[in-house]
Amino acid sequence: MTLYVNLAELLGSRIENGFYRPGDRLPSVRALSVEHGVSLSTVQQAYRVLEDNGLAAPKPKSGYFVSVSRKAPALPAVGRPVQRPVDISQWDQVLDLIRVAPLEAVTQLGRGMPDVTSPTLKPLMRALSQLSRHQDMPGLYYDNIYGVRRLREQIARLMLDSGCNLTANDLIITNGCHEALSASVRAICSPGDIVAVDSPSFFGAMQTLKGVGMKAMEIPTDPLTGISLEALELALEQWPIKVIQLTPNCNNPLGYVMPEARKRALLTLAQRFDVAIIEDDVYGDLAYNYPRPRTIKSFDEDGRVLLCSSFSKTLAPGLRIGWVAPGRYLEQVLHMKYIGTGSTAPQPQLAIADFIEGGHYEPHVRRMRTQYQRSRDQMIDWVMRYFPEGTRASRPQGGFMLWVELSEGFDTLRLNRALLGKGVQIAVGSIFSASGKYRNCMRMNFATKSSREIESAVRIVGETIALLNAQTD
């Protein structure tokens, strides 16, 4: 592990164990540098990690202090997935999640839905509506295979914030991030190939690997700093891994933002072993801290990073508009996109282009970031109030998902079944592992503004957990 991550974890655990208390002044950068024999900049990096994770905050001219933030539950343990490539299972459980229709009379804490009721989305609906009123409506035609140029230009501009220097010609529009990931994998891999993934990992991306007959090598992942570079290096030495697939920014499901130095280190590893990286940045613009975190792609020099994203989390998933910047794999990805779906629907692309050009994107995303950060705090409070003592939870730095770890041996599949009759649905932990690990974990969505309905759903989940615990005792 790099020095500063080590140091950040040490300080973090001291804070969490109450060695330093909320409001306490933390040791000075200089003092820590001497104490641990590391450079000043290493200490500063460590403090930045603590800051990102809401554990410490700087005060001008007086150093770092332990955040007086509300008490938070302990972090989930680092997962211990199977230490060899495995075939991906869990399709049945994923299907249970995605076969539910939207707006059914169920509080769907399990889905990856953003809040689409914000008034800042109104100009988008106006654009959609207006586009349908032309007689020679461009939304009715086959689009060219790359996607609407005006939109690609806007995406290239937005991605500047992530450190990427892209042009419209580097981008292919896709049917959501899902197709971006799928076309990327199919462009690089053949059946039987091994893909290294963060663990827990987004189930949709894993099912995509499964569908192409790939094996997943799950890499232990820290809930604050992301995929373990040490474990990844070992895996790369041991197995003929073809691609590393991960979500470094506002990870789904863990919510961390991988520190910049670790992103660079990961890229160096990929170069050394000559593997490609599929980087899922679908939540990148929803990081609570501004400016938004950089992508691994922004450090890429030889085109080995395939950056995948969409407007599903920032605007609305029903539009099904995503994109991929496939680097040196552009031609192959284009072919795979074509053979999967042909071209992409032009109308939502044109509407989104109008929306961004009209200056509506940034204010909307700013508003959602603030809302999500607030409802994260609310959701954590509710978990602490309604869930059994000892429950652990992630500390998301962006997006709208909370990862919850219950006591060992608890089975969230049973929980979900018990919740069925109670009008609440969660995402069970096992679908986030290729081999069905994390059965005592679950993911909950906190996108909607806190409301009685959501609070009551969380309370019902908590009570049902207690009930099941009582039954097994």
Q: In the complex, which residues of this chain contact ligand PLP (CB under 6 A)?
A: 112, 176-178, 202, 204, 247, 252, 280, 282, 310, 312, 317, 322, 342
Nearer to ligand PLP, 45 or 309 (CB): 309
Residue 112 lies near a second copy (rule: CB under 8 A): yes
Q: Which does 421 bind (CB under 5 to 8 A by kind): a second copy, ligand PLP, none?
A: none
Question: What are the backbone dihedrals phi and psi of residue 305, each rounded to the nearest 5 degrees, phi first?
Answer: -100, 130
Nearer to a second copy, 162 or 349 (CB): 349
Residue 140 lies near a second copy (rule: CB under 8 A): yes
Tokens read off for 231: 């474990």
Q: Which does 212 bind (CB under 5 to 8 A by kind): a second copy, ligand PLP, none?
A: a second copy
Nearer to a second copy, 253 or 259 (CB): 253
Tokens read off for 153: 């230009």
Q: Is 404 helix (H, G, I), strand (E, B) or coil?
A: strand
Options 113, 189, 404, 415; binder of a second copy; rule CB under 8 A: 113
Q: Which does 252 bind (CB under 5 to 8 A by kind): ligand PLP, a second copy, none?
A: ligand PLP
Considering the complex, what minimum distance in angstroms separates the CB of residue 179 from a second copy? 5
Return the closest-CA partner of residue 1 out of 26, 54, 51, 38.
Answer: 38
Number of residues that bind a second copy (CB under 8 A): 72
Q: Which does 389 bind (CB under 5 to 8 A by kind): a second copy, ligand PLP, none?
A: none
Listing DSSP states for 161-191 in one string gives: GGT----GGG-EEESHHHHHHHHHHHHH--T
Options 6, 44, 343, 450; binder of a second copy; rule CB under 8 A: 343
Residue 207-236 contact track with a second copy, rule CB under 8 A, x = bound: xx-xxxx-----------------------
Q: Which residue lies nearest ligand PLP, judged by its C-beta?
A: 176
Tokens read off for 398: 């962006």
| Subset of 272-331 contacting a second copy (CB under 8 A) | 312, 316-320
Q: Are strands 322-325 and 172-174 parallel, antiparallel or unpaired?
A: antiparallel
Distance CA 451, CA 375 (A): 10
User: Checking phi first, is residue 255 left (phi over 0); if not, alpha (psi -120 to 50) or beta?
Assistant: left
* Cα angle 92-218-397, degrees, rounded to a multiple of 5: 90
Nearer to a second copy, 43 or 356 (CB): 356
Q: Which does 280 bind (CB under 5 to 8 A by kind): ligand PLP, a second copy, none?
A: ligand PLP
* CB-based contacts of 466, cutoff 8 Å, min separation 6: 388
C-beta of residue 39 within 8 angstroms of C-beta of residue 32 = no
| Subset of 345-404 contacting a second copy (CB under 8 A) | 345-348
Q: Which does 135 bind (CB under 5 to 8 A by kind): a second copy, ligand PLP, none?
A: a second copy
Which residue carries 């009379």 as its tokens?
105
Nearer to a second copy, 101 or 105 (CB): 101
Distance CA 152, CA 163 (A): 17
Where are the alpha helices (H) located in 99-228, listed in sequence order?
A: 122-131, 149-159, 176-188, 203-211
Tokens read off for 240: 């003929």
For 6, the enclosing helix (H) or strand (E) is helix 3-16
Nearer to ligand PLP, 94 or 189 (CB): 94
Residue 253 lies near a second copy (rule: CB under 8 A): no
